[in-house]
Chains A and B, each alone.
Chain A
């Protein structure tokens, strides 16, 4: 969680908790592996020992302390932890709204990606992790909901893709211009691009899962998934997803995959990026492999799309470090006066073009509100 490392653990009582990964004694990192199972957390420095609920069981030198009772001492816990559709969220802020309120209507869209079959989604292996010299807001804004950049930064993969049946870059611009971006007061935002008319329903998704989508989603949600070409979104502040339908080579079938990522800030000029891939639990092993393969070939450290994004994000931090550059105001006015779309079939405020920068502006306004509160 930002610069603070946490241990996320399912306790022996089945409850998921999260603690600061730092011993109460000297601050040592207690859990030093990416994962595993343990009945106790034993500090490698002086053996202070905690149970999976974070309680300090013993300092290993208890007889030297005046206090005889260590009850009530334990690893620093997050203030709130909750889950939605299997995703775990936590905050250090006890005053933050509870998760359902924090996510708000964005939950309706999250269902499209994380609970669209009765059993829900499974994570395909541990995440890719890498460090980009950028500010966390840049990728968060990119995924929520900067679409202008796709035409320039992703021109290469888009142009290559059309040789294997994807829409031309010109058609893509038309699609983007008429697709909605959706904004939420909590600072979240997403885009939803529908397939061109000539594409079949549930394009890029396994046909055997369609009946499961039909019995899980409500009719409006199902309608979005039925025609979905690309959806990208950001949960304020720094969690994003993307579900595109992409084929990376001519002979490969187009695959709709989901990548979920966090842009964890390591200070203002660096992030550690974690990127996971998801498929329906009910999907075949072969499909899961296709999802993972397509995901890492496109939106990943090694992805033909994302490698170019990261280059730009890093260059922004470099190019705006100087004292003159820091006085320069950034421009978020594209489509600023565009009225919201009427009769939009989903929750949130929809704006009728992806080239507008309304949701990016809304994201930053939300950030500014919170920063001002902190001060």
Chain B
């Protein structure tokens, strides 16, 4: 899917820098648990999904959707529910006290998307999470495919699909965003 060099698909340096800074800003808000501000970066019709693979042999060609496992499948309404839960002390046990998290965003490719002011963005995410005083932190590793949309001049996340790099997740819950 190497559309990066296709004519007419390149973005300007300025656009690229804005998008990289959008992703960094978003990661910073999540690490700082400023979840309401993070949610404000989504479009109203946000589609937010997190998927994990199953283990299949190479010779089994059909690596199709039926064999992926969905972990999050959210829209604005359900994201609001989650943010309310995770931001209200009496509403969450998993994140009260909160996990210590650090998000590392790399390998960012941007192409012009279909439609005005729309961008297709892929990035890698390493999400470090440490729970309380337990000694082993956990690392979620993922590829993200995003669609960013400029709304009233501001970049907004319109779509995110997160592909986790693990079939059996080695941590107790997923009370974090990617």
Contacts and interface: CB of A to CB of B under 8 A. Distances in A.
Contacts of A133: 172
A66 interface: no
Interface stretch (A189-197, A299-307, A342-350): A299-307
Given A32-B55, A33-B55, A310-B172, A300 B94 contact: no
Interface of B: 50, 52, 54-57, 60, 66-75, 77-78, 80-82, 84-85, 88, 90-94, 134, 167-175
17 contacts: A36-B57, A125-B67, A130-B168, A130-B170, A132-B172, A155-B90, A156-B91, A159-B90, A160-B85, A248-B78, A249-B81, A250-B77, A252-B77, A292-B70, A293-B73, A301-B71, A302-B71
Nearest to A293: B73
Contact of A156 (B55, B66, B90): B90
Interface in A298-323: 300-302, 304, 306-308, 310-314, 318
A251 B80 CA distance: 12
Contacts of B93: 153, 308, 311-312
Contacts of A365: none
B60 A301 contact: no
A130 B94 contact: no
A129 B170 CA distance: 9
A297 interface: yes
Contacts of B88: 156
Nearest to B80: A249
Interface in A123-148: 125-134
B81 A248 contact: yes
A94 interface: no
Contact of A33 (B60, B74, B80, B90): B60
Contacts of B81: 157, 160, 248-249, 304
Rank and list the top 7 A-B pairs by shortest CB-CB distance, nearest first: A156-B91, A249-B77, A307-B173, A302-B174, A308-B93, A130-B169, A310-B172
Interface of A: 32-36, 125-134, 153, 155-157, 159-160, 248-252, 272, 292-293, 296-297, 300-302, 304, 306-308, 310-314, 318
Contacts of A132: 172-173
What DSSP secondary structure best describes chain A's contact surface?
mixed
A341 B7 CA distance: 75
A296 B70 contact: yes
A302 B90 contact: no
A264 to B, nearest CB: 11
A77 B69 CA distance: 29
B173 A311 contact: yes
A129 B168 contact: yes
B171 A131 contact: yes
Contacts of B67: 35, 125-126
A156 to B, nearest CB: 3
Contacts of B77: 248-252
A311 B94 contact: yes
Nearest to A289: B73
Given A296-B72, A307-B174, A34 B54 contact: yes
Contact of A129 (B60, B75, B169): B169
A41 B92 CA distance: 47
Contacts of B73: 292-293, 296-297
